[in-house]
Amino acid sequence: MPQKIKVAIAGVGNCASSLIQGCAYYNKTSGSDVGLLHHKFGAYEIGDIEFVAAFDVDRRKVGKDLATAIMTEPNCIKTIHKVNKMGVVVKKGPVLDGVAEHMKQTFLVDEKQVKCNVNTELRCSGADMLICYLPVGSAKAARFYAQAALNANIGFINAIPEFICSDSRWIRRFKEKRLPCAGDDIKSQIGATIIHRALSRLIEDRGQIIDSTFQLNVGGNSDFENMLDKDRLLSKRKSKTQALTSILDHKLTNVRIGPSDYISHLKDNKICYINIKGRQFGNIPFELDLKLSVEDSPNSVGIMVDVIRAMKIALDNKESGHLEEISSLMFKSPKKQLRDDVARKLVKKKYQLA
Ligand SMILES: NC(=O)c1ccc[n+]([C@@H]2O[C@H](COP(=O)([O-])OP(=O)(O)OC[C@H]3O[C@@H](n4cnc5c(N)ncnc54)[C@H](O)[C@@H]3O)[C@@H](O)[C@H]2O)c1
């Protein structure tokens, strides 16, 4: 009988909320497969995922039961499923660079709230792995949590565009401690990146040339509010741009990809516009425009539920270092960029998925 998968979370925002509500929705009794890549992944069902620790810095969330914290503003996702009291209290981690300057007034970090010892909390929680769900631009804070995972001898999943699990130095540290890590920057199920990659590959595979492309993204959740700070979003822009250019046959210089604005009333609805200009047979120009409107956070969580189970299998099998196959398929910035069809075949083979 498979064990429970014990997960700790750093950053109780919209993604954490979608993940926890989604796990409640797809528990063993719901019977629904809608929106899942795999109901069963290896020996594990989604109902085997359990949340055992959570860290945040926003005083509205710290000190609350995790089930209440995920429903607390500024979280704004559409409700997926009611979550009963979980018996896990959100603990305060170190703020470091987790909060953007322009959000400090609304963010409500309470200096009087006592910080926990993250290393101790992780050890006592019995967590198998830690997911990094911090805001974009949290370079120091993300590395702090990666180190905390190493200190606690657990796996590390990096959902954000900080280059940690794809960085040779960090991979070596995880290898030395015989621990697995997966990342970086989760690639949503049907999100801007995967669509842009698939369309661009289609164009090249059909013998046509891409001359220029851009991808504009707007949304109204705190992830987009945070990315109004242009300095914080440099890593996001780099991660999203490389995710496209790395799988093309021709070098593409006229390319601009990234978060473009924050529109508060959109809440967790993200709207993406993709434009591609190229040339077809006879050097004749063509142009393609696409609009995608999608709930942002659940879109990435459909991927995370598989990554969590792959991480647990890696722990069971004592794999260490960067989990190459799953990272290449499920993240925008893995150590090794592969075409999605190639990565999917490798993942299916490795985990013997139908
Ligand atoms: N489709 C997607 O939703 C998607 C896809 C790829 C990557 N991501 C990334 O995942 C991350 C999480 O996204 P989200 O929508 O949940 O963001 P969010 O802004 O809703 O949540 C971030 C949480 O981190 C907390 N936080 C800030 N500093 C902290 C610290 N030092 N320690 C602990 N907690 C801290 C904030 O209070 C907040 O609750 C973002 O970096 C986002 O870019 C999301």
Query: Which of 340, 316, 26, 318 is closest to 326 using CA atoms?
Result: 340
Structure tokens at 124: 């006592």
235 lines ligand 1 (CB under 6 A): no
Confidence of residue 104 (pLDDT cuts 50, 70, 90): confident
Domains of the chain with CATH codes: 5-187+298-351 (3.40.50.720), 192-296 (3.30.360.10)
Question: 């914290």: which residue's tokens?
Answer: 69
Strand 90-92, strand 49-56: pairing: parallel
Among 17, 56, 72, the mutation site with the greatest number of ligand 1 atoms within 8 A of its Cβ is: 56
Residue whose CA lies nearest to ligand 1 atom number 39: 13
Q: Is 340 exposed, middle or buried (0-12, 13-18, 19+ CB in 10 A)?
A: middle
Cα separation, 307 vs 320, whole angstroms: 15
Residue whose CA lies nearest to ligand 1 atom number 12: 133
> What pLDDT does residue 103 have?
87
Confidence of residue 30 (pLDDT cuts 50, 70, 90): low
Report how far Cα 148 is from the mean position of its chain's Cα atoms. 19
Q: What does the pLDDT average to over 293-303?
A: 97
> What pLDDT does residue 312 have?
98
Decide: 90 and 108 in contact? Cβ < 8 Å: no
- pLDDT above 70 covers a percentage of the chain that reads 98
The answer, yes or no, to whether the previous bond of 74 is cis (omega within 30 of 0) is yes
11 lines ligand 1 (CB under 6 A): yes
Confidence of residue 324 (pLDDT cuts 50, 70, 90): very high
126-148 pLDDT tens trace: 999 999 999 999 999 999 999 99
216 lines ligand 1 (CB under 6 A): no
Greatest extent of the chain over all pairs of C-alpha atoms, in Å:
69
Cα separation, 243 vs 257, whole angstroms: 10
pLDDT at 51 over 90: yes
DSSP letters for 189-201: TTSHHHHHHHHHH
